[in-house]
């Protein structure tokens, strides 16, 4: 038997796919930005904090990295609701994604921060820079530059993983696909299209990360050498 | 509303074995596929290299959830009625294979160029070079990241719940649907995943330290 | 006259000393690296600290700037007691500059930004003012044309001159130099030493740990010879070199090391 492909549903359903993709972009860009912020702060605390903060951040990273995003999502969405606080699916999704991205960012940025030699800190110290200024101006940018490839890969993975937010009924790309396939009985075609959209999104994200890197790391853009 | 009780805990605990079974299936299948892809990525045939690279790019750019749907709904429409375990095993194999292929390619290429040259000078053919010189060294380099990736495999099996395969996460959902105790249920579920994954993470780091010391 | 290994000659308390080091003891774990070191440095002095590797000379310099803790004794620079609280540290940083063996320029910043960073962040200078100062100090070390280069585009000697300029821009009262030419080839060493000699002539108070014996002998007006964590012999350069009082120092200058 031969299966006949039928993409005719696209004629009137294509705007829904785009809307879903747009929500995926909104959810993930927000989560990546906030997750990066959380992770960077945690990485600084992990390296330069006192014994207690280091242990707390370490526990956070291990717990998140060793449990599935889907279960984290359920805990945030259903768990918080059971405590009487009703959050929308989108807000829950962003919270869970930020917590998740934050843990991975912490681990990646920690490696970057630890690769900055102690002598750089001494030089900044001798110039009278405060601890805060030293971390911001002398440590973080070069640290980020060193781990930037790992960081952008992780964020692309996060964008793809955001498809699980469909399971708490956030109306993003995968959720849209689930609806359309149950309306049209064209599951295979629908998921092929969605797969193609995700692949396109991951290329777009990679391109944007490369562009951001070129804007952020002026020295590398000009000289093209590693730190 | 049914009280969350020992019976529920036992139900969830029993589901752990299906998470383990699915992880092992996915890892075994993914390892075979991954090895083939890694060897293809470093082969001398440009066709094999291109195919392997395209496969890895495509799968790594697709969410696992979509692969699961494609395997489950899609293939059944194509005429194959797949049990959830088979569909999940297939999708995870395709997914894990792409990632292991990429990790292992890096490990093969991390073996110094001079090892190829030296074994070439000894008159070993390509197969012998792989079998006796390159792969044994690559495996040592590959062990820590591979063990680390097993954590991802275990966590990713949670997605099989969406196609109705009753593993740990699905068992949690079922219990939650009757008890409405999501916080307790899913924290228990998370704790069980942690109990499987954390030792693997620790082992991966320990192996990496050992490798770094040895070198 | 026998020397009591306490650096007593130089350590005669002086009213106008900008750097006072008294009976400093420093341990690295069990190892005593500084064993009761005392010395004074007057404004405008150029003091060269010399000695074999492991004699404690670099550690002494790092202690002076609070980069290492001391276990006993006291160090006062420009009226600030070193290692005495955070606010005091800011005062110390304002008055003391330091240049390192490994330059320690910030690799991701241009030469100009390396210099203006502390001017804008610490001294709260305007951007224009900071830039003007950067131009001035770069001109002083002969690198006015390297303003927009990145450290990696410069030779080691040029990088070290930028590091000196960076420190100089903050107009310190005292400058510390920690083996600043040790990582450089001989021909690059010369250009760095020339900059330092100019600074000394300009009246800057300088303390340097160095292996450049000829330079120390020619430019420094005071020399401190350290041995086994103590100030073994110290005094005006010419006196010290013309009549060594201890066999260790005689041997040290005899081997040229």
Q: Residues C35-44: pLDDT tens digits?
A: 999 999 999 9
According to the model, what pLDDT value does residue C86 have?
Answer: 63
3-state secondary structure B67-95: HHHHHHHHHHHCCCCCCHHHHHHHHHHHH
In a domain, A5, yes or no: no
State percent of chain B over pLDDT 70. Answer: 98
Q: Alpha-carbon torsion B119, B121, B125, B126, what sign?
A: positive
In a domain, B189, yes or no: yes
In 3-state terms, what secondary structure has residue B131?
helix
Q: Place B191 in a pLDDT band, splitting at 50, 70 and 90.
A: very high
Q: What is the mean pLDDT of residues C246-253?
A: 89
For the record, the structure tokens of A69 come out as 């995003």
CATH number at residue B113: 1.10.3720.10
Distance from CA of B66 to the nearest CA of A (A): 6
Task: Test B66 with A199 for CB contact under 8 angstroms.
Answer: no
Q: Residues A213-225: pLDDT tens digits?
A: 999 998 888 887 7
pLDDT at B77 over 80: no
pLDDT at C4 over 50: no
Q: Residues A36-65: pLDDT tens digits?
A: 999 999 999 999 999 999 999 999 999 999
Nearest to C93 among A126, A142, A219 (CB): A126
d(C-alpha A111, C-alpha A166), whole Å:
33
Neighbours of chain A (3+ CB pairs under 8 A): B, C
In a domain, A4, yes or no: no
Q: Place C254 in a pLDDT band, splitting at 50, 70 and 90.
A: confident
In a domain, B88, yes or no: yes
Distance from CA of B189 to the nearest CA of A (A): 8
Report chain A's C-alpha Rg in angstroms.
Answer: 21
According to the model, what pLDDT value does residue C85 have?
Answer: 64
According to the model, what pLDDT value does residue C3 have?
Answer: 40
A16 or B83: which carries more pLDDT confidence? A16
In a domain, A197, yes or no: yes
According to the model, what pLDDT value does residue C176 have?
Answer: 95
Other beta carbons less than 10 A from residue A8's beta carbon: 11
In a domain, A40, yes or no: yes
Q: Predicted ipTM? A: 0.91
In which domain, by residue range, is A105 found?
14-223
Nearest to C43 by CA among C202, C229, C211, C247: C202
Average pLDDT of the residues of chain C: 88
Q: Place C5 in a pLDDT band, splitting at 50, 70 and 90.
A: very low
pLDDT at C62 over 50: yes
Q: What is the mean pLDDT of residues B81-102?
A: 92
Q: What is the mean pLDDT of residues C95-107?
A: 93
C15 or B74: which carries more pLDDT confidence? B74
d(C-alpha A164, C-alpha A30), whole Å:
16
CATH number at residue A64: 1.10.3720.10
According to the model, what pLDDT value does residue C175 have?
Answer: 95
Task: Test A66 with B79 for CB contact under 8 angstroms.
Answer: no
Q: Residues C213-224: pLDDT tens digits?
A: 888 998 899 999
pLDDT at B95 over 80: yes
According to the model, what pLDDT value does residue C84 have?
Answer: 66
Q: Residues A72-113: pLDDT tens digits?
A: 999 999 988 888 888 899 999 999 999 999 999 999 999 999
Cβ-Cβ pairs closer than 8 A, A with B, add up to 122
CB-based contact C115:C137 (threshold 8 Å): yes
Quick one: closest CA in B to A203, which residue? Answer: B61
In a domain, A107, yes or no: yes
Nearest to A227 among C100, C107, C117 (CB): C107
Q: What is the dihedral of CA B124, B127, B129, B130, to 10 degrees?
A: -170
CB-based contact C143:C161 (threshold 8 Å): yes
In a domain, A2, yes or no: no
Average pLDDT of the residues of chain A: 92
Neighbours of chain B (3+ CB pairs under 8 A): A
Q: Place C2 in a pLDDT band, splitting at 50, 70 and 90.
A: very low
Q: What is the mean pLDDT of residues B90-95?
A: 96
Nearest to A119 among C102, C108, C167 (CB): C102
State percent of chain A over pLDDT 90. Answer: 75
In a domain, B10, yes or no: yes
Distance from CA of A16 to the nearest CA of B (A): 17
B83 or A216: which carries more pLDDT confidence? A216
Nearest to C57 by CA among C222, C215, C208: C208
Number of domains chain A is built from: 1
In a domain, B175, yes or no: yes
In a domain, B1, yes or no: no
In a domain, B149, yes or no: yes
In a domain, A3, yes or no: no
Number of domains chain B is built from: 1
Task: Tell me which chain A residues have a C-beta less than 8 angstroms from the C-beta of B187.
Answer: 75, 79
Starting at the edge strand found earlier in the chain, the sheet holding C46-51 runs C96-99, C174-178, C205-209, C46-51, C222-227, C230-236
pLDDT at C12 over 60: no
State percent of chain C over pLDDT 90. Answer: 66
Q: Residues B5-33: pLDDT tens digits?
A: 888 999 999 999 999 999 999 999 999 99
Alpha helix ranges (H) inside A49-68: 51-65
d(C-alpha C80, C-alpha C96), whole Å:
10
Question: What CATH code would you report for C17-110+171-255?
Answer: 3.40.50.300
Cβ-Cβ pairs closer than 8 A, A with C, add up to 65
Global confidence as pTM: 0.87
**Helices and strands, counts by H and E, chain A:** 11, 0
What is the crossing angle of helices B168-179 and B182-214, to 10°? 160
pLDDT at B91 over 80: yes
For the record, the structure tokens of C104 come out as 């320690």
Task: Test C90 with A120 for CB contact under 8 angstroms.
Answer: no
Task: Test C122 with A129 for CB contact under 8 angstroms.
Answer: yes
Quick one: closest CA in A to B74, which residue? Answer: A188
Q: Place C173 in a pLDDT band, splitting at 50, 70 and 90.
A: very high
In which domain, by residue range, is B194 found?
6-214
Nearest to A74 among B73, B74, B186 (CB): B186
Chains B and C touch (3+ CB pairs under 8 A): no
d(C-alpha B133, C-alpha B118), whole Å:
10
d(C-alpha A95, C-alpha A72), whole Å:
10
Q: Residues A135-170: pLDDT tens digits?
A: 999 999 999 999 999 999 999 999 999 999 999 988
d(C-alpha C228, C-alpha C34), whole Å:
8
Nearest to B158 among A71, A81, A160 (CB): A71
pLDDT at B166 over 60: yes
In a domain, B105, yes or no: yes
């Amino acid at each position: 038997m031969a299966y006949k492909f039928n993409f005719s549903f696209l004629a009137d359903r294509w705007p829904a796919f785009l809307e879903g993709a747009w929500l995926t972009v909104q959810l993930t860009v927000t989560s990546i930005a906030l997750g990066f912020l959380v992770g960077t702060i945690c990485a600084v605390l992990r390296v330069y904090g006192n014994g207690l903060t280091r242990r707390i951040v370490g526990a956070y990273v291990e717990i998140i990295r060793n449990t599935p995003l889907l279960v984290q999502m359920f805990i945030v969405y259903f768990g918080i609701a059971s405590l009487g606080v009703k959050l929308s699916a989108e807000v829950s999704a962003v919270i869970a994604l930020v917590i998740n991205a934050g843990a991975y960012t912490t681990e990646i940025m920690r490696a970057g921060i630890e690769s900055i030699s102690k002598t750089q800190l001494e030089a900044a110290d001798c110039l009278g820079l405060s601890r805060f200024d030293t971390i911001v101006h002398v440590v973080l940018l070069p640290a980020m530059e060193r781990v930037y490839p790992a960081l952008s890969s992780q964020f692309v993975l996060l964008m793809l993983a955001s498809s699980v937010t469909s399971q708490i009924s956030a109306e993003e790309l995968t959720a849209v696909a689930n609806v359309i396939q149950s309306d049209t009985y064209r599951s295979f075609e629908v998921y092929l299209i969605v797969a193609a959209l995700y692949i396109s999104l991951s290329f777009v994200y990679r391109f944007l990360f490369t562009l951001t890197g070129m804007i952020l790391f002026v020295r590398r853009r000009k000289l093209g050498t590693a730190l | 509303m049914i009280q969350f009780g020992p019976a529920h805990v036992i139900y969830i605990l029993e589901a752990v074995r299906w998470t383990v079974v699915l992880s092992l299936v996915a890892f075994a299948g993914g390892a075979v596929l991954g090895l083939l892809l890694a060897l293809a990525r470093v082969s001398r045939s440009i066709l094999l290299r291109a195919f392997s690279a395209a496969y890895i790019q495509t799968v790594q750019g697709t969410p696992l959830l979509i692969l699961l749907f494609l395997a489950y709904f899609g293939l059944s429409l194509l005429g194959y009625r797949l049990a959830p375990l088979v569909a999940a095993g297939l999708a995870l194999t395709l997914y894990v294979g792409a990632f292991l292929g990429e990790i292992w390619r890096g490990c093969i290429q991390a073996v110094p160029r001079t090892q190829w040259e030296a074994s070439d000078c000894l008159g070993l053919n390509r197969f012998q070079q792989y079998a006796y010189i390159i792969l044994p060294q690559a495996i040592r380099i590959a062990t820590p990241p591979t063990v680390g990736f097993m954590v991802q495999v275990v966590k990713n099996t949670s997605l099989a719940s969406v196609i109705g395969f009753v593993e740990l996460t699905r068992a949690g959902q079922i219990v939650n649907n009757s008890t409405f105790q999501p916080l307790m249920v899913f924290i228990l579920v998370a704790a069980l995943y942690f109990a499987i994954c954390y030792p693997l993470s620790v082992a991966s780091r320990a192996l990496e330290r050992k490798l770094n010391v040895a070198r | 006259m026998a020397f009591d290994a306490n650096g007593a000659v130089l350590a005669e308390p002086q009213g106008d000393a900008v750097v006072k080091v008294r009976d400093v003891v420093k341990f690295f774990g069990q190892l005593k690296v500084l064993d009761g070191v005392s010395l004074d440095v007057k404004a405008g002095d150029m003091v060269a600290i010399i000695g074999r590797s492991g004699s404690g000379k670099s550690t002494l310099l790092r202690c002076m700037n609070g980069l290492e803790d001391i276990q006993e004794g006291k160090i006062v620079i420009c009226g600030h007691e070193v290692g005495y609280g955070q606010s005091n540290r800011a005062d110390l940083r304002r008055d003391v500059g330091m240049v390192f063996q490994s330059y320690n320029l910030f690799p991701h910043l241009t030469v100009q930004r390396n210099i203006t960073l502390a001017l804008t962040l610490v001294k709260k200078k305007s951007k224009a003012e900071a830039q003007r100062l950067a131009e001035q100090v770069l001109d002083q070390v002969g690198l006015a044309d390297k303003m927009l280069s990145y450290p990696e585009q410069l030779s080691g000697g040029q990088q070290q001159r930028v590091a000196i300029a960076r420190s100089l821009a903050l107009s310190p009262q005292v400058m510390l130099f920690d083996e600043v030419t040790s990582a450089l080839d001989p021909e690059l060493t010369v250009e760095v030493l020339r900059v330092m000699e100019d600074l000394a002539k300009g009246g800057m108070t300088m303390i340097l740990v160095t292996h450049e014996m000829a330079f120390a002998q020619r430019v420094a007006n005071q020399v401190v010879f350290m041995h086994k964590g103590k100030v073994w012999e110290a005094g005006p350069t010419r006196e010290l070199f013309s009549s060594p009082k201890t066999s260790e120092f005689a041997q040290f200058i005899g081997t040229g090391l």
